[in-house]
């Protein structure tokens, strides 16, 4: 992936100015190529439109939902109708309104949990891969121990200590997710630190921190970006799983997983109570999976000639 070029400070003349313009032109061209390859993936483009719609729904939930997610508006378990598009749940709340508000919770959990895991994973993986030696051994053993424990067991155990809330789920998923990204970053740093541009930066006397995060990290960004996109969907699915197992947010929080969990006992009599929030989970996760797939194809240098 092309490293962003900083415009030099002060006046430039002759060949230096032309070189700077050429570098900026190359950078702009590379992003144009990236966007061209991305939009060629029709499914990824449709998923991007879907993501925009999900964000708009989350931001405008108060305007879109006809009722508050805690409001009891009708008799219990009323079938879908023109008045209640998705019907009502077991205590008379409008399911459509709760699904709409649940979009905000799912995106918030997915994005914040992924942000935490990516930040921790980048730092741990960069330090491990760049310094090597005993530092690499210690961090690698911590990661291996964490990965040896099934994440659901680990998440439920942490939830039992921290309590059930949106904040707890975000922290839990963030603290678990960094284990995977750190291995990706470590492998990239081990490969890139032997390149000539790193040797040149070292010869110039640049600090290790600057070499790691200003020179190596931008060149390792491709797998990180793809993994981050996929991780948002995984975090949303994990939140739903935790809520289904009773380790996520508590009622009346309009969590899709919690809605599925409370409706599973009425699958035969009121399948819509489970079906609509479950469909919302599937659609949202699929959107991020398709976007991640599109980013992978667009960022793959092997596809530049297409």
Helix 221-244 × helix 95-131 angle, to 10°: 140
Q: Give domain status of residue 1, yes or no.
A: no
Residue ranges of the chain with per-residue pLDDT less than 50: 1-27, 304-306
Establish how many alpha carbons lie within 13 A of residue 25's alpha carbon, considering only the half-sphere containing its beta carbon: 6
- What is the pTM assigned to this prediction? 0.81
Burial (CB count <10 Å: 0-12, 13-18, 19+), residue 237: buried
List the beta bridge partners of residue 88: 94
Looking at the 3D structure of the chain, how many domains does it have?
1
The pLDDT value given to residue 156:
79
Residue 3 lies in a domain: no
- 230-257 per-position pLDDT tens digit: 899 888 888 888 888 778 888 888 888 8
Question: Which domain covers residue 297, as residue numbers?
Answer: 14-303
CATH, residue 31: 1.10.3720.10
Answer positive or negative: Cα dihedral of 284, 285, 288, 294.
negative
Give the CB-side neighbour count of residue 220, counting CA atoms within 13 A. Answer: 29
Query: Contact at 8 Å (CB) between 57 and 73?
Result: no
Nearest CA among 215, 199, 148 for reference residue 5: 215
Whether 53 maps to a domain, the answer reads yes
**End-to-end CA, the chain:** 17
Residue 287 lies in a domain: yes
Asked if the structure places residue 207 within a domain, the reply is yes
Residue 268 within any structural domain of the chain: yes
Between the alpha carbon of residue 125 and those of residues 17, 130, 261, the distances in Å are: 38, 8, 36
């Amino acid at each position: 992936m092309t490293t962003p070029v900083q415009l030099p400070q002060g006046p430039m003349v002759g060949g230096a100015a032309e070189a700077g313009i050429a570098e900026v032109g190359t950078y702009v061209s590379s992003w144009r190529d990236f966007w061209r390859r991305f939009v060629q993936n029709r499914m990824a483009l449709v998923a991007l439109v879907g993501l925009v719609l999900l964000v708009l729904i989350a931001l405008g939930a108060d305007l879109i939902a006809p009722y508050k997610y805690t409001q009891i508006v009708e008799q219990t378990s009323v079938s879908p109708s023109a008045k209640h598009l998705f019907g009502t749940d077991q205590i008379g709340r409008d399911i459509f309104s709760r699904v709409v508000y649940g979009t905000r919770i799912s995106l918030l959990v997915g994005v914040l949990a992924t942000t935490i895991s990516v930040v921790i994973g980048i730092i741990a993986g960069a330090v491990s891969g760049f310094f090597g030696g005993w530092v690499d051994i210690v961090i690698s053993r911590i990661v291996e121990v964490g990965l040896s424990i099934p994440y659901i067991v680990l998440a439920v155990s942490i939830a039992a200590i921290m309590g059930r809330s949106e904040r707890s789920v975000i922290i839990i998923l963030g603290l678990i997710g960094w284990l995977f990204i750190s291995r990706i970053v470590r492998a990239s740093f081990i490969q890139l630190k032997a390149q000539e541009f790193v040797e040149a930066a070292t010869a110039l006397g640049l600090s290790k921190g600057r070499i790691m995060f200003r020179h190596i990290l931008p060149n390792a960004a491709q797998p990180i970006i793809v993994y981050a996109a996929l991780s948002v969907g995984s975090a949303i699915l994990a939140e739903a799983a935790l809520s289904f197992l009773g380790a996520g947010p508590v009622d009346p929080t309009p969590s899709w997983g919690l809605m599925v969990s409370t409706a599973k006992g009425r699958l035969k009599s009121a399948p819509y109570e489970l079906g609509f929030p479950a469909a919302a989970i599937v659609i949202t996760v699929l959107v991020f999976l398709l976007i991640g797939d599109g980013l992978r194809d667009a960022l793959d240098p092997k596809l530049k000639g297409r």
